[in-house]
């Protein structure tokens, strides 16, 4: 795409572009990016002002890497062309969509938003679509998947140019659909501009990111953007009727709503027939198809029944039939770091889960505790520079639902992990809790909990999920819960059997 066409795209988007330094020739732009490590020769580098750094300060580095032009909010010291707009984030997404040939228009798109359950719901939805012979990609917290290759996701919703680049890769690979996780940050920061969705799901809303959104109403308004700004004509909204915020959305969009929930409702609902640490037997009721469906879900816990229902509603909204839904649920690959199960030869079971809010921890502990024959051990911390008020609440949840607790670190960032643990410890008051300790080294904490557990016990490692780094004051260092579990298994001579 030529620079003149990029200028026209920005004009059409209402972004009032102006050349701070006009081009001498109408050169072609090869790509659009907001990070210097993504710059290739001929790329348009977009100078995004972030919360901790300013992309304008990295313009020289981008030029040295081969950038051919800039999109900026102020003039730059460069001989390259510079287009000025008032909002580079919005401009970057709009231009990237055009440069990549508007790939979102060539795919069936599904989006999942909410506090908890986005990753699992998206994972199941991808499985349902693939079971229905629809080549499908995925963009979410765990992985970015273009249909042929996967990369670890570095944020729930990538920046706008990255979204368009990945969608273009899916189209090039013969993809027909994509499932995305839509974060509140991603929606507020225009990362999904250029994307309209055929089916949109809302899981739940509980306190998180209030340092960014201010309060729950601000958080809800960010989620609302998905449904008010990003539906295609005829799109269906799959809304959790077990959640008050989901019902509020349904009141706003009654004609588009496909309700779902545990227990009978006008939409998709489930009857739980049996549940243990190996999964859940369900009867799914699909009014749109006029039938019920027996399914053996590999997931544990009531909250995962809700995730299965959300994915089922999305699948139905995208035209999937009952057999594709059943196969997609029963054959879904394990979701990394989402109640990821490890059974040991000695009868001990360990789960790794991403739960890092009071609601998430409560649901995870409730899920593993409901079928546990022995004691429940919980290992968790809480991230630094995040919602401080959640810390004692996490302790209170653990004291009610766990027998033994080990407090440790979880991405403390610039904060003292001992102080964070102390604030969680303030809430550790409950009749069930038998013991607790503080072991800040997370690997040591994991090993200590597994050493203390007995056959029939369950150990829940919460907060990190599949993450491969621990974020400290000086930056990230390598760490992964699954590696710690496997190292314990080898060092103690206790094999993992499943």
Q: What is the tens place of the pLDDT at every residue in 228-243?
A: 999 999 999 999 999 9
Question: What distance in Å separates the CA atoms of residue 384 and residue 404, rounded to the nearest whole number?
Answer: 23
* Nearest Cα to Cα of residue 270 among 288, 243, 249, 293: 293
Q: How confident is the model over 128-152, as a mean pLDDT?
A: 97
Pairing of β 349-353 and β 291-297 = unpaired
Question: What distance in Å separates the CA atoms of residue 72 and residue 85, rounded to the nearest whole number?
Answer: 6
Check: CB of residue 161 under 8 Å from CB of residue 347. no
Tell me what percent of the residues of the chain surpass a pLDDT of 90.
94
**What per-residue confidence (pLDDT) applies to 265?**
87
Please, which pLDDT band fits residue 362 given cuts at 50, 70 and 90?
Answer: very high
Half-sphere exposure of residue 70: CA atoms within 13 angstroms, side-chain side = 29
* Nearest Cα to Cα of residue 379 among 325, 453, 305, 327: 453
* Nearest Cα to Cα of residue 80 among 93, 91, 70, 90: 70
Tell me what percent of the residues of the chain surpass a pLDDT of 70.
100
Check: CB of residue 194 under 8 Å from CB of residue 91. no
Residue 6 reports pLDDT greater than 80: yes
What lies within 8 Å, CB to CB, of 235 at 6+ separation is 196, 197, 198, 199, 200, 256, 317
Pairing of β 279-286 and β 291-297 = antiparallel
**What per-residue confidence (pLDDT) applies to 176?**
98
Please, which pLDDT band fits residue 249 given cuts at 50, 70 and 90?
Answer: very high
Q: Which helix (H) or strand (E) holds 211?
A: helix 210-213
**What per-residue confidence (pLDDT) applies to 400?**
97
Q: Looking at 65-159, list the stretches that DSSP marks H as alpha helix, in order from N- to C-terminal side.
A: 88-99, 118-131
Q: How confident is the model over 442-453, as a mean pLDDT?
A: 98
* Nearest Cα to Cα of residue 402 among 431, 425, 440, 373: 431
Kindly give the interhelix angle for 302-317 and 322-330, rounded to the nearest 10 degrees: 140
Residue 211 reports pLDDT greater than 80: no
What is the average pLDDT value for the chain, to the nearest integer?
A: 96
Cα 91 → chain centroid: 24
Residue 212 reports pLDDT greater than 90: no
Q: What is the DSSP string of 232-295?
A: EEEEEEEEETTSHHHHHHHHH-TTTEEEEEES--SSEEEEEEEEETTEEEEEEEETTTTEEEEE
Check: CB of residue 19 under 8 Å from CB of residue 81. yes
Q: Which helix (H) or strand (E) holds 380?
A: strand 376-380
User: Which residue in the block uniquely carries the two structure tokens 């013991």?
Assistant: 435
Q: What is the pLDDT of residues 54-104, one digit of tens each?
A: 999 999 999 999 999 999 999 999 999 999 999 999 999 999 999 999 999
Question: What distance in Å separates the CA atoms of residue 374 and residue 267, rounded to the nearest whole number?
Answer: 38
Question: What distance in Å separates the CA atoms of residue 401 and residue 369, rounded to the nearest whole number?
Answer: 7
Pairing of β 32-33 and β 44-46 = parallel
Please, which pLDDT band fits residue 387 given cuts at 50, 70 and 90?
Answer: confident
Half-sphere exposure of residue 446: CA atoms within 13 angstroms, side-chain side = 23
458 bridge partner residues: 349, 376
Length, in residues, of the chain: 498
User: Which residue in the block uniquely carries the two structure tokens 């990230």?
Assistant: 476
Please, which pLDDT band fits residue 307 given cuts at 50, 70 and 90?
Answer: very high
What lies within 8 Å, CB to CB, of 261 at 6+ separation is 240, 241, 242, 267, 269, 306, 309
**What per-residue confidence (pLDDT) applies to 335?**
96
**What per-residue confidence (pLDDT) applies to 166?**
98
φ, ψ of residue 51 in degrees (nearest 5): -85, -20
Q: 441-445: which pairs have CB atoms within 8 A and are 24 or more residues apart? A: 441/408, 441/409, 442/379, 442/381, 442/408, 442/409, 442/410, 442/470, 442/479, 442/481, 442/484, 443/479, 443/484, 443/487, 445/379, 445/406, 445/407, 445/408
CB atoms within 10 A of CB 52: 4
Ordered structural domains, the chain, with CATH: 3-99 (3.40.1390.10), 103-330 (3.40.1190.10), 340-492 (3.90.190.20)
Over its C-alpha atoms, the chain yields an Rg (Å, rounded) of: 24
**What per-residue confidence (pLDDT) applies to 177?**
98
**What per-residue confidence (pLDDT) applies to 213?**
82
**What per-residue confidence (pLDDT) applies to 208?**
83
Residue 430 reports pLDDT greater than 90: no
Q: How confident is the model over 134-158, as a mean pLDDT?
A: 96
Name which of 253-257, 386-390, 489-493 the model is least confident about: 386-390
DSSP code, position 148:
S
Name which of 33-37, 181-185, 263-267 the model is least confident about: 263-267
**What per-residue confidence (pLDDT) applies to 489?**
98
Predicted TM-score of the model (pTM): 0.93
Q: What is the pLDDT of residues 158-186, one digit of tens each?
A: 999 999 999 999 999 999 999 999 999 99
Residue 361 reports pLDDT greater than 90: yes
User: Which residue in the block uniquely carries the two structure tokens 């970015």?
Assistant: 144
């Amino acid at each position: 795409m030529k620079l003149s066409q990029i200028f026209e795209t920005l004009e059409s988007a209402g972004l009032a572009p102006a050349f701070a330094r006009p081009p001498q020739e109408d050169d072609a732009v090869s790509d659009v990016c907001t990070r210097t490590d993504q710059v290739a020769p001929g790329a348009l580098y977009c100078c995004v002002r972030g919360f901790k750094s300013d992309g304008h300060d990295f313009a020289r580095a981008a030029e040295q890497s081969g950038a051919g032009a800039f999109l900026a909010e102020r003039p730059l010291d460069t001989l390259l062309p510079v287009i000025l707009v008032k909002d580079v984030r919005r401009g970057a997404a709009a231009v990237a969509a055009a440069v990549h040939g508007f790939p979102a228009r060539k795919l069936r798109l599904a989006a999942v938003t909410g506090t908890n359950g986005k990753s699992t719901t998206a994972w199941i939805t991808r499985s349902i679509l693939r079971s229905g012979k629809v080549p499908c990609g995925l963009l979410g917290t765990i992985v970015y998947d273009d249909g042929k290759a996967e990369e670890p996701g570095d944020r729930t919703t990538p920046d706008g140019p990255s979204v368009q680049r990945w969608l273009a890769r899916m189209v090039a690979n013969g993809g027909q659909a994509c499932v995305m996780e839509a974060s509140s940050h991603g929606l507020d920061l225009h990362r999904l501009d250029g994307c309209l969705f055929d089916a949109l799901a809302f899981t739940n809303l509980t306190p998180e990111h209030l340092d960014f959104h201010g309060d729950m109403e601000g958080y809800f308004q960010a989620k609302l953007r998905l449904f008010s700004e990003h539906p295609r004509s005829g799109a269906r909204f799959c809304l959790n009727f077990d959640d008050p915020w989901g019902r509020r959305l349904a009141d706003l969009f009654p004609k588009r709503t496909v309700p779902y929930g545990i227990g009978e409702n006008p939409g998709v609902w489930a009857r739980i027939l049996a549940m243990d640490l190996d999964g859940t037997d369900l009867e799914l009721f699909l009014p749109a198809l006029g039938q019920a469906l027996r399914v053996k879900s590999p997931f544990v816990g009531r909250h995962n029944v809700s995730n299965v229902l959300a994915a089922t509603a999305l699948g139905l909204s995208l035209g999937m039939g009952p057999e594709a839904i059943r196969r997609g649920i029963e054959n879904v690959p394990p979701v990394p770091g989402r109640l990821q199960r490890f059974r040991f030869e000695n009868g001990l079971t360990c789960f790794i889960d991403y739960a890092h809010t009071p609601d998430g921890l409560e649901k995870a502990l409730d899920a593993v505790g409901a079928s546990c024959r022995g004691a429940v051990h919980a290992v968790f911390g809480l991230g630094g520079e995040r919602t401080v008020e959640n810390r004692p609440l996490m302790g209170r949840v653990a004291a009610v639902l766990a027998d033994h607790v080990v407090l440790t670190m979880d991405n403390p960032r610039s904060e003292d992990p001992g102080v964070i643990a102390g604030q969680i410890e303030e809430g550790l008051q409950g009749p069930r809790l038998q013991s607790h300790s503080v072991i800040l080294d997370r690997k040591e904490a994991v090993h200590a909990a597994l050493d203390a557990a007995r056959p029939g016990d369950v150990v829940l490692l919460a907060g990190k999920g599949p993450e491969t780094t621990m974020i400290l004051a000086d930056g990230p260092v390598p760490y992964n819960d699954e590696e710690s579990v496997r190292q314990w298994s080898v060092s103690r001579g206790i094999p993992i059997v499943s």
